[in-house]
Amino acid sequence: MQKATFGAGCFWGVEVEFRNVQGVKSTAVGYEGGRTANPTYEDVCTDRTGHAEVVQIEFDPAEVSYQKLLDVFWENHDPTQVNRQGPDVGTQYRSVIFYHTEEQKRLAEESKQERAASGRYRRPIATQIVPAAPFWRAEEYHQQYLQKRGLANCRI
């Protein structure tokens, strides 16, 4: 099993997209990349902790490639928006890939370059690619939030 961690806006919708990928064994929403230990949702929402809302994924590389997970990441948000996705504004909603291995870093950087060169976006890609940092699991009511409420997604 391997881990992958992505931030692409509000973690509720991002989590659903990855949970539905064959080969993804588990997902957890949480906070990563900030300065505060053990932050709460309320802390992160102040936009002062530096954390991003993220989904940490455990996946079986024999069933799904990291490249496929990158494709899901790119396809399910606007990577050109800086510190926001749609109406959600703040550094916690930034587009970010936290890599766990040098291979993940290489693949993430290559995929970002490919997307940037594709002509698909009118603005530069703002996605950060940074080393994995401590992951702080969000409160239980955030885990599989949409599924608990019978919702398929929360597209804007």
Q: Tell me which residues are annotated as active site.
A: 10
SS3 of residue 136 by DSSP: strand
> Which among 102, 82, 103 has a CA at the least distance from the CA of 93?
82
What span, in angstroms and rounded, lies between the C-alpha atoms of 35 and 39?
Answer: 9
> Which among 10, 147, 145 has a CA at the least distance from the CA of 76?
10
Helices (H), 11-65: 11-19, 41-45
Tokens of 94: 């930034």
Biggest alpha carbon–alpha carbon distance for the chain: 40
